[in-house]
Structure 1
Amino acid sequence: MQASLDGCLFVPVADAGPGQVGTGTRFDYRERDGRVWAHYEGGDVVHGELVGTRAGDQLDFRYVQLRTDGSTASGHCLSRVTALPDGRLRLEESWEWESQPGSGTSAVEQVRR
């Protein structure tokens, strides 16, 4: 059985760059019936939301965020859910901005509450 993301808190393992998520960003995930959503904030992000779907270990979602400089940005992300040796979850992400040029990969890991 796959581990649920519902109620999980995730943090990036590295900074992605100015105006993007970084190690100061926190993602609070929810999951129900194949749907996933999360609120995130911290670092250069004042307010962010993501919404999408989960099929097995694959997430497919869109995100939108308000940055500290007042700009907004949005994009698309595909993630793979994996388990770390200590039982925490890791999301390995491949993302692409839709509101501006740019794409990349990143990872976030679960933080125990």
Structure 2
Amino acid sequence: MSSTATIPSLDGRRFLMVSSTTSAVDPESPSEFVYWEKDGAIWGDYSGDTVTFGRFVGTRTGDTIWVSFVHVLVSDGAVVTGDGESQLELTDDGRIRLVEHYEMHGLPQLSVCEEPVAA
């Protein structure tokens, strides 16, 4: 696997959920995602907001990533699985944004995650 992306590696980068069609995002405690990347492979974990913990694995080609995910909900402990595709974008201030299209509960969904602003 290889990448000719214009956006730098996601390896070790952290992202916070900004918006989601699946649920209202708590701005005080949004889901947090940590990504790892090597030779076109993507993997990582996430937690926060409505998710106790989750894992994902996939691939990257250029500025597009494809992942399969699984997570446990805070509300009832239910396990949710799915697949998604994200477009990588750069914000005006140079941070990476993930625009994620995925299916959950049998319906198409959209979420946006961004690297946090440096303190």
> Do Structure 1 and Structure 2 share a fold, with TM-score over 0.5?
yes
**Counterpart for residue 3 of structure 1:** 8
Cα RMSD between the aligned structures?
Answer: 1.9
CA distance in 1, matches of 2:84, 2:78: 20
CA distance in 2, matches of 1:21, 1:5: 23
Is 1:49 the counterpart of 2:55 in the alignment?
yes
Shift of 1:21: 6.9
Runs (5+) with no aligned partner, structure 2: 1-5
Q: How does 1:1-113 map to 2 (within 5 A)?
A: 1-18=6-23, 23=27, 24-68=30-74, 69-97=76-104, 100-111=105-116, 112=118
Q: Which deviates more from structure 2 when the two are superposed, residues 57-66 or residues 103-112?
A: 103-112
Shift of 1:16: 3.8
Question: Structure 1, residues 14-40: CA drift from partner, whole Å, max 9, x if none?
Answer: 24444x876521001111100001110
**SS of residue paired to 1:5:** coil
Question: Structure 1, residues 20-69: CA drift from partner, whole Å, max 9, x if none?
Answer: 87652100111110000111001111110010000000101100001111
Q: Is the 8 A contact 1:64 1:74 kept in 2?
A: yes
The code of the aligned residue for 1:77 comes to G
**SS of residue paired to 2:19:** coil
TM-score by length of 1: 0.87
Q: Is the 8 A contact 2:102 2:108 kept in 1?
A: yes
Q: Which runs of 4+ in 1 moved over 3 A?
A: 15-18, 20-23
CA distance in 1, matches of 2:33, 2:77: 20
Indicate the percent of aligned positions where both proteins have the same amino acid: 34
Across the two proteins, how many residue pairs are aligned to each other?
110
